[in-house]
Amino acid sequence: MVGFFKQPKRHLKKLLKDGEYDEAVAFGKSLESKYSDDPDFMFIMGSVFFIVDDAKKALPYFEKAFQLDNYDVETLTLKTNVHLALEQKDEAIDCCRRILKLQPENSEARKLLDDLELL
């Protein structure tokens, strides 16, 4: 049990992997003040909420993760998906453009951007 407290992010990832979402939310919330400036932690928490279909709660975590590490394409990709789930087209377009600035060859972001701009 001591290992959980030495590696709390690892434990949080394990809960997520094992499908223990309620426990992951509770455990993550208990760590939030300690890891509020950790982009990996924020990404994990955003992922937990996105998996349980709570895009509204996921968004602030992805925004914070991106604020802390604004070169993370994976965070931007999930942030784009959250905006789409919340029907926030303009914000999703902005995320796609940011992805393409970081990875001009990203065909998924290019296709999505093209599709969104046609709507």
Q: Which of 5-19, 76-90, 105-119 has the lowest mean pLDDT?
A: 5-19
Report the b/e string of 21-58 with b at 16+ CB within 10 A.
eeebbebbeebeeebeebbbbbbbbbbbbbeeeebebb
Q: Is the predicted pLDDT of residue 117 greater than 80, yes or no?
A: yes
Q: What is the pTM of this model?
A: 0.90
Q: Is the predicted pLDDT of residue 5 greater than 70, yes or no?
A: no
Kindly indicate the confidence band of residue 102, based on its pLDDT and cuts at 50, 70 and 90. very high
- Cβ neighbour number for residue 115 with a 10 Å cutoff: 10
Kindly indicate the confidence band of residue 119, based on its pLDDT and cuts at 50, 70 and 90. confident
How do residues 51-95 score in pLDDT, each as one tens digit?
A: 999 999 999 999 999 999 999 999 999 999 999 999 999 999 999
